[in-house]
Structure 1
Amino acid sequence: MQPMPTDWQRALAVVAHPDDLEYGCAAAIADWTDGGREVVYVLATRGEAGIDTVTPDECAPLREAEQRASAAVVGVSTVEFLGHRDGVVEYGLGLRRDIAAAIRRHRPELVITLNHRDTWGGPDGGGYWNTPDHRAVGRAALDAAADAGNRWIFPELISEQGLEPWNGVRWVAVAGTATPTHAADATPGLERSVRSLMEHKAYIEVLTDQDPEEYVRSFLTGNAERNAARFGGRPAVAFEVFPR
């Protein structure tokens, strides 16, 4: 894997749920913000369908608060929620428009999203089935990177919101992919990525019977170490990078 591009100043991370970035790439984000880069989080949902024992009305503000606290651990101060319903996010014009609007608002050079493919498995198609929300948001983020730069796609973003086109996205980086092309050194931000995921206490406590910190540390360090073989022996956060 090649090193991630570094000649950028602003990134926009677009995912479906609270905790998606913490499971995927918070270690890289912590290192980037330490270096003076700006990263903004945009979440399609508030994760309100994520805890079986908590109603969506109670769950949404809880998970939103946990996401804001989690983002702050890795130096991210701006977190936006698009208000799509958790579990039933649909790929389509509405989602593309919302993400294109966010890209125009924040004008990133790098867009980050999560695995948009059918499975979490290897290139042979094996492994676990991906969720509809992840697939929809990942695909829409890839498409919206182009939509944001075309004034004739969603012209209402100009007339109604004053959002002029932004054609400055140079890369879309997909985390959680089985076919990574690039990586960022996970070592500088790894401890903060553990603390960041630990902020999702309500979610993690019902997800596993394991000690929460043991579970989080094992998951994140295991992923980073598995990527080391393709990144000069260094623990890494892997991405599939699509240049534009």
Structure 2
Amino acid sequence: MTAHPSGRPDAPLEPMPEDWHRALAVVAHPDDLEYGCAAAVALWTDAGREVAYALATRGEAGIDTLAPDECGPLREREQRAGAAVVGVAEVEFLGHRDGVIEYGPRLRRDIAAAIRRHRPELVITLNHRDTWGGTVWNTPDHVAVGRATLDAAGDAGNRWIFPELTAAGLEPWDGVRWVAVAGSATPTHAVPAEPGMERAVRSLLEHRAYLTALTDQDPEEYCRAFLTGTAGATAARFGGRPAVAFELFPR
């Protein structure tokens, strides 16, 4: 587990770096980014930064009442709509199977290829550790994709690890300066959530079919309570401001 640079788990969170132009967010499923990162993304795109999304799966195993061949296209449409709300136009799906993503060379290669395509300075992913805060078990898909993304940030810059990517015209990209992990129990940095919160709520609300299957609560009430609650819990470590927290790994 990575400690805060100060050595104290309750230390104030530092502002996220701002000297970058392009970011790529890599997660396992539709809605993974909307459950917490979208407010930060909205702030960044408002400032003129470019953010793209790459999803390992189309979330086809995510709704019990829908067969995968029906669910996958629906959730892909919901993800594209949710991304558009916060200013993200580029959303790609890497074609791995929902629920059984395997960490390994194929996953690393596919993420490295996405990094080479988009050439980001900042890469964002989701909690890659076994639990959420030591109390709730994480899913294998999140663990595999988060860990592979951390590794692929280096793979993308090494032409000899996946030479087939260079042969296909994807030149190495060694320009990733940070990998930011959302949902970490040991965050180090944060982004103010309030400027982008309304769009974050609307972004999550675009996952209407998924939310309807998930909860009987009014969807807007559910989304607003979840997102404002998560951001508010970070405020004590960010000067009293609700925030989206990240564990930042410099490269």
Q: TM-score, normalised by structure 1?
A: 0.97
Aligned AA (1:144): A
Map 1:212-223 onto structure 2 (within 5 A): 212-223=219-230
Q: Which runs of 5+ in 1 are unaligned?
A: none
Per-residue CA deviations over 1:207-233 (Å, capped at 9, x if unaligned) read 011111111000000000000000000
Encode CA deviations 1:115-156: one digit per residue, 9 max, x unaligned.
0000001xxxx3100000000000000000000001111011
Residue number among 233, 240, 249 corresponding to 1:233 in the alignment: 240
- Runs of 4+ in structure 1 deviating by more than 2 angstroms, as ranges, are none
Task: Provide the residue aligned with 2:210 in structure 1.
Answer: 203
Over the residues paired in the alignment, what is the CA RMSD in angstroms?
0.4
For 1:3, which of 15, 18, 21 is the aligned residue? 15
Q: What are the equivalent positions in structure 2 for 1:132-151 lying under 5 Å apart?
A: 132-151=140-159
Aligned equivalents of 1:101, 1:83: Cα separation in 2: 13
Distance 1:196 1:127 in 2: 27
Q: How does 1:16-35 map to 2 (within 5 A)?
A: 16-35=28-47
- Counterpart Cα distance in 2 of 1:52 and 1:133: 17
Query: Which amino acid counterpart does residue 196 of structure 1 have in structure 2?
Result: S
Contact 1:104 1:164 in 2 (8 A): yes
Amino acid in the other structure paired with 2:92: E
Are 1:109 and 2:109 counterparts? no
SS in 2 for 1:13: strand
Match of 1:59 in 2: 71
AA of the residue aligned to 1:133: D
Structure 2 gaps of 5+ residues are 1-12
Shift of 1:24: 2.3
Structure 2 counterpart of 1:50, from 42, 46, 62: 62
Q: In the alignment, is the contact (CA less than 8 A) between 2:36 and 2:230 conserved in 1?
A: no
Match of 1:158 in 2: 166
Q: Equivalents in 2 of 1:96, 1:217: separation in Å?
A: 34
8 Å Cα contact 1:24/1:114 also seen in 2:
no
Which residue number corresponds to residue 182 of structure 2? 175
Q: Does the 8 A contact of 1:225 with 1:234 survive in 2?
A: yes
SS of residue in 2 equivalent to 1:111: strand
CA distance in 2, matches of 1:103, 1:3: 24
Deviations 1:12-65 (A, max 9, x none): 000000000000210000010000000000000000000000000000000000
**Is contact 1:89-1:132 (8 Å) kept?**
yes
Q: Does the residue aligned with 1:209 lie in a helix, a strand or coil?
A: coil
Give the structure 1 partner of residue 25 of structure 2: 13
Matched to 1:225, the amino acid is G
Match of 2:9 in 1: none
Give aligned pairs, total. Answer: 239
